[in-house]
Structures are given as C-alpha cells and as structure tokens.
A = this chain, B = another copy of it.
Amino acid sequence: MAKRVAPRKCSVADTLELVGDRWSLLVVRELSHGFHRFDQIVYHTGASRDILAARLRKLEAVGIIRRRLYNEHPPRYEYRLTSAGWELCDVLLTLMKWGDRHLNPDNPPLRYHHSCGEVLDPVVVCAHCGGPAVRGAHSPFGPALAQD
C-alpha cells in the first residue's frame, strides 16, 4: 500500500521545524536588538510567558540561543544569540523587506543604517555573480526532488 503522504525532505522544512512558529523568530529579533531578558521579550513580542519559556528552551536546545547566568541568588538568566542565531537575521531581513513592500508600503516601521552610509535595502543575490537570486534560479536538483 502506497504511502499517503511523503513530505519533501528539505532544509526549508527542517528550518521551519525549529523556528516556524509564531514566536521564535520574534525572539531572535528582540535578542538581535539587544533585549536579552525574559520580561523584555514578553513585553515586546506579546508571547505568553509559558509559551515563551518553552520556546527559549527549544531554541537553546537546538543551538540558536545560549542561556547565561547574570545573577546568582536568585538565579537569573538572560539569553544571547549564538553565531547560528545571528545568521537567522538574514531570514528576518527578507521577512522585513517583504512586509515593508506589501504590508507597510508607506512607512516601514523599522529601518537600519548600513555601514556603507545608506539606509539598508537588503536583497538576496547569487554569491557568484551578484545577480538577483530568485529570478535567476532555475532547475532545482538534489535528493529532495527525486521522490516525485
């Protein structure tokens, strides 16, 4: 009997397994902005405290954040992005750009200065030629497509 479903094994799915919920990426956003404490993250994201506690555990378990004791007696922890966590900021930037274009076209709620002096306009390009990634991407290949 044939399998009913065969979810495609792919890195997008694998990554979403870790951060594809309502709050995880917002946690990364807050940490990247320098808010490291539990109550600050609750305040700025709107997540409920129990869910946030669970997400912090999960993100720590998979190596996206690291818990740091900043006070003994009583033990108080704060959270920091690991290098893997910082790399998720690329994802945040593309999400932000999409939202700026399609949901807040008139005044983006948040922008960054870039080290070049301009306001950052993040684009995804091919590392080899510098051309737009999506428009030039074609003919996907790899094990994830073999199963069709």
- Do A110 and B20 form a contact, CB below 8 Å, given A44-B6, A89-B134, A129-B116? no
CB A94 to nearest CB in B, in angstroms, measures 5
Size class of the A contact interface (CB-based, 8 Å)? 35 or more
Segment from A53-61, A69-77, A98-106 that makes contact with B: A98-106
Which residues of chain B have C-beta atoms less than 8 A from A99's C-beta?
10-12, 14-15
CB-CB < 8 A to A90: which residues of B?
94, 97-98, 123-124, 133-134
Where the two chains meet, the residues of A that have a C-beta atom closer than 8 Å to any C-beta of B are 4-16, 18, 20-22, 25-26, 29-30, 33, 42-46, 63, 84, 86-104, 107-116, 118, 120-131, 133-145
